[in-house]
Structure 1
């Protein structure tokens, strides 16, 4: 995990908000027709609606979070679902404790 890249990704307030809101998806995103938010994650459409951005911008932000290792993606049919990568977030917190 590259700390500089993670900070670049989290330096954008909307990407940070998406990551924070994925901690409690039922509270921050509209209900979705398919998939369980805890098991499968949150559909891109629900995230888009929750943050009020275009689909393309939302997808770009989610891809950045995924490349940084902060979220995982799961394809189900024609949809992609995202959820926090808690294991990597924990590693990042531990790494920050050692580096700072």
Structure 2
């Protein structure tokens, strides 16, 4: 007890030696903390990369819109708009020929 009082009077507290379990636990906790720090850094890098990819993709939006519009225009059948006018004309022509044939008889 005299040694404990003497060390307490000097300001140093004698700690009992840590057990093997506690030493290993501290080592593992330190390694886990370092690994989590690396994971956090890598997640931040990934986040920045995803943001950059998104920005690049957004820069192509006007080009994509232009090509989409071009594709829609080219996909329309040019004969489709003319068919309606031609069908009307052929119907009238057919009526005229029938009327003309009846008049000839």
TM-score when scaled to structure 1? Answer: 0.21
Q: Which has the higher contact order (CA 8 A, sep 6+)?
A: 1
Structure (1 or 2) with the greater helix fraction: 2
Which structure has the larger Rg over C-alpha atoms?
A: 2
